[in-house]
Structure 1
Amino acid sequence: MTSLFLYRRCGLHAAAIACLLAAAPAASQEQTEEDKQKLEAFLKFQANLPSFLPTVNLINAEALPITFPFRMVGEQIVVDVDFGDGVARPFMLDTGAPTFVTEEIGDEHGGETVIEMVTIAGGGVIEWSPMVKFPSVTIAGALEITDVTGGVNWATEGPFYCITRNGLIGSQAMRNAVWQIHYGNEEITVAATVDQLDHISDAIALPFTVKEDGLSPTPWVELGLGDGKLVFIVDTGGGVPLTINSEALAKVGLELPEDAPVAAGISSGAGGDFDTALAGFTAPMMFGDAELLTTAVVGDGLAPTTDGNMGASFLKNFIVTLDWSSQTMYLEPLFEGDRVPLPGAASVGVGFHGDDLAVTSIAKSGPADEAGLTLGEVVIAINGTDVTDISADAFCELKKTPFETVTTASDQSYDAGMIEGFFDTQE
């Protein structure tokens, strides 16, 4: 979803609005003047943020702590959200973005419009969408948050279709309490202070920063690597491990080994399709005072606002606690030793490419690559099931079972299974 990507890239803070407007020229002078007027209103709103933020996304501290379950859909945390009508709607919990809802939910349950926010639609067209205030939402039937602010522009189609068609609960809804995500038990505990929580005293403590003039207080942490430090966004909604932008390695005096394992892929954007490449890089990293051996995935533009992304495939190895009042993140490992586990890579990735399912990623030197499979080939069967006319909903169901084989339009089948330890570069 283009708008969500640009929120991550530019941020919802005053200095970044120019970045968003510069990302695509307006279609006409009339639109440009309208953009300027809305921009002035947004900047005025931003100047008043210190007095506005304490009045929204409120959690009753006297009712805490509260514990409720979540479920993992792929690599993402999903919770049920009730907007007061008794309907439990699946939402993704995402520390890396603001709160978003669909237009349908906004129209039915939203209250006053707080401000118009800027997004960039496909083709580079500037669009404005409202951030509205919802009187109350209840998460998992347990945690009530009142005066919730959220952008009304979540698209039901797109890369998150199999996770949620409703939206995401972002960090702006989390900032007024302490959130502990226990990936091992698939439970979240929301507390008033860390004193109400376990898994703190023996955890790795990492200070984090947030954009003080932003609506979304996404945590940014520094990790030691090579001869310096890199900044990572803490992103529970990113279905990735620890990622590092290619150019960031040079900042700490490092470079990728020539024999680093690589997965090639196809991504899509407003300008069309483009090839991508992700390489494995294993090295000791400093998490505060703790040194852990960690495999990162290196590529171009993986975390446009920072040096890297601390995504869900990495975070799920810990009990993660985020305390915005002290701007401290706590990580208690769910693994033994000092090596952070990393899931394997699929020999073949499949996704919608236009109306067809196609090969969207290949592990280089993996079995499918060695057998001659190439990116973009149309897939007609997965695990022996015909997918030539498969619906998006049916594909989501099919993805719940690991892919073992894919068959292309040439009627050739390829091994699509997981390659354990694919990205590791050290034994």
Structure 2
Amino acid sequence: MTPKASPKRTICVSVCLPVMVALQSSALSAQQLDLTEADKEKLAALAAFLENIDGIIPTINQIDPASLPVTIPYREIQNHVVIDVAFGDDDPVPLMFDTGAPTILTPEITAAHGGEVLAEMGSAAGGGGILWNPMVRIPSLTIGGLEIRNASAETGWSPAGAFYCITRNGLLGAPAMRNAVWQVDYGAQEIHVAATVDELDHVDGAIALPFTWNEKTISPSPVVELGIGEGTLTFIVDTGGGIPLTVNAADFAATGLKVPEDAPTSATLTGGAAGTFEATVSGVTLPIRFGETEITTTVIVGDGMAPTTQGNMGHGFLKNFVVTFDWATRTMYLDPLSEDGSVPRLGDGASVGLAHDGERVYVSALAKGGPAESAGLTLGEKVARVNGEDVSDMPQADFCSVLETTLETVTTDGGDTYDAGKIKGFFSGN
């Protein structure tokens, strides 16, 4: 349970995520934020844009059904799906494939390839203010042999922090997918895009889950209901989240369940508008109801697991299936990769998690009771060596290679060396 495993929404998930909550609901009023007059005008314009979204949707993210089906290869980077996308005549660049967000690109890409500004999108910023970024119309983008015309894309992607090692260009989000059927084959590492599910395998006999999304939004991120304990919780289906099933602590308790006192637990160091603070998350293995199908799997429970729903269904869980999204019928299909339909439970756990703050490598996560914590390693300590190699002056670009290695030891600035290897059976108790 470390940020290393899931840079976009780390195991501390939304509390680690830079605040990027789109102000796409009138529920977030001017009284809740320190708004300038210019902010109020832009917020009113955004509300009007979203109120008329039904007339805008058909004009953007257009896919010609006659060009389908198409197969797109992908690669996995730091537990995230990454695809190559070309803008105009430029060479393809890597983007994260993310059903849990709108399409977001760097200012450089939108400046070079963006056309009409569709709306100014607002994000909550530190201090109670709003950060405004334009959403533009991209005349054409191509993924493999698939062209998406008049694609909507927000600007403002910053290749810093945990995302730096996944993509420095942005992400392809749910808006780009809503006009076709998208299937992610995690076994073959391919994405199949079709006009209808009839053109695809792995649908007949699969677990079928209806999904919804916020109607007054540009981004139709799928939200499903799963049965847990005595209740039902909503989960955003997030191919861009490098995490398993996660649940907010309060929502988990509301189902009548409790986290056992001896549950495997990690502490993570994260930051927000209020400064840097520590978050604690635990792993609980239990049966989850997917419609009429019950699957026993490990759920990560803690504060801030999902910013907009009660839970998050991320890559760590989805990678056990061939996953199909049919926006036309609002149905998601899960076809297990295993012959018996089971999902491997989380077993081993990381003793130490590392991150880079732009200047130094530091300890960002610790397994409670693990060898490193028991020996005195603490969150936030600066790291001088990893596996005996000097990282004291390592730039962020080079740190990406550290994340690809098997972590064995870390040495802090004080000269102490700690066992940072995986804890065998951390989640299973073996």
**TM-score category by the smaller chain?**
over 0.9
Partner Cα separation in structure 1 for residue 306 and residue 257 of structure 2 = 18
* Distance apart, 1:356 and its partner CA: 1.9
> 1:306-345 counterparts in 2 under 5 A?
306-337=309-340, 339-343=342-346, 344-345=348-349
* Distance apart, 1:337 and its partner CA: 3.7
Which residue pairs with 2:125 in the alignment?
A: 121
Which residue pairs with 1:196 in the alignment?
A: 199
Which residue pairs with 2:4 in the alignment?
A: none
| Higher RCO, Cα 8 Å, sep 6+ | 2
Deviations for 1:377-422, whole angstroms, at most 9, x for unmatched residues? 1111111110000011100122112212111112222222223442
Letter in structure 2 aligned against 1:244: V
Partner Cα separation in structure 1 for residue 45 and residue 362 of structure 2 = 44
Which residue pairs with 2:411 in the alignment?
A: 407
1:416 aligns with 2:427: no
Letter in structure 2 aligned against 1:15: S
Going from structure 1 to structure 2, the CA distance change for 1:5 and 1:331 (only over 3 Å counts) comes to farther
1:15 aligns with 2:26: yes
Counting matched residue pairs gives 416
* Distance apart, 1:341 and its partner CA: 1.8
1:25 aligns with 2:25: no
Which residue pairs with 1:109 in the alignment?
A: 113
* Distance apart, 1:22 and its partner CA: 5.8
Letter in structure 1 aligned against 2:373: D
Partner Cα separation in structure 2 for residue 302 and residue 289 of structure 1 = 25
Partner Cα separation in structure 2 for residue 57 and residue 358 of structure 1 = 41
Going from structure 1 to structure 2, the CA distance change for 1:4 and 1:272 (only over 3 Å counts) comes to closer
Partner Cα separation in structure 2 for residue 53 and residue 113 of structure 1 = 15
> 1:256-295 counterparts in 2 under 5 A?
256-295=259-298
* Distance apart, 1:299 and its partner CA: 0.5
- 5+ long unaligned stretches in structure 1: 27-31
Partner Cα separation in structure 2 for residue 179 and residue 219 of structure 1 = 12
Which secondary structure does the structure 2 equivalent of 1:256 belong to? coil
Going from structure 1 to structure 2, the CA distance change for 1:172 and 1:16 (only over 3 Å counts) comes to farther
Asked whether the equivalents of residues 302 and 309 of structure 1 are also in contact (C-alpha less than 8 Å), the reply is yes
Partner Cα separation in structure 2 for residue 119 and residue 282 of structure 1 = 35
Deviations for 1:46-72, whole angstroms, at most 9, x for unmatched residues? 121111101100111111110010000
Which residue pairs with 2:368 in the alignment?
A: 364
Asked whether the equivalents of residues 19 and 125 of structure 2 are also in contact (C-alpha less than 8 Å), the reply is no
The 10-residue stretch of structure 1 (307-316 or 353-362) with the greater mean CA deviation from structure 2: 353-362
Letter in structure 2 aligned against 1:95: T
Partner Cα separation in structure 1 for residue 215 and residue 331 of structure 2 = 15
TM-score (structure 2 length as normaliser): 0.92
Which secondary structure does the structure 2 equivalent of 1:172 belong to? helix
Partner Cα separation in structure 1 for residue 33 and residue 349 of structure 2 = 35
Deviations for 1:270-322, whole angstroms, at most 9, x for unmatched residues? 22101011101111111111111011000001102111100111111111111
Letter in structure 1 aligned against 2:34: P
Partner Cα separation in structure 1 for residue 417 and residue 32 of structure 2 = 42
Which residue pairs with 1:224 in the alignment?
A: 227
Which residue pairs with 1:210 in the alignment?
A: 213
1:45 aligns with 2:49: yes
* Distance apart, 1:165 and its partner CA: 0.7
Percent of pairs with identical residues: 52
Partner Cα separation in structure 2 for residue 92 and residue 102 of structure 1 = 13
The 10-residue stretch of structure 1 (384-393 or 349-358) with the greater mean CA deviation from structure 2: 349-358
Partner Cα separation in structure 2 for residue 165 and residue 257 of structure 1 = 40
* Distance apart, 1:23 and its partner CA: 5.8
Which residue pairs with 1:389 in the alignment?
A: 393
Which residue pairs with 1:176 in the alignment?
A: 179
Asked whether the equivalents of residues 281 and 424 of structure 1 are also in contact (C-alpha less than 8 Å), the reply is no
Partner Cα separation in structure 2 for residue 156 and residue 23 of structure 1 = 29
1:239 aligns with 2:242: yes
Partner Cα separation in structure 2 for residue 12 and residue 329 of structure 1 = 27
* Distance apart, 1:4 and its partner CA: 7.2
Going from structure 1 to structure 2, the CA distance change for 1:188 and 1:46 (only over 3 Å counts) comes to same
Which residue pairs with 1:144 in the alignment?
A: 147
* Distance apart, 1:265 and its partner CA: 1.0
1:299 aligns with 2:291: no
* Distance apart, 1:129 and its partner CA: 1.1
Which secondary structure does the structure 1 equivalent of 2:132 belong to? strand
Which secondary structure does the structure 1 equivalent of 2:164 belong to? coil
Deviations for 1:111-140, whole angstroms, at most 9, x for unmatched residues? 01011111233444322110000000001x
Asked whether the equivalents of residues 161 and 357 of structure 2 are also in contact (C-alpha less than 8 Å), the reply is no
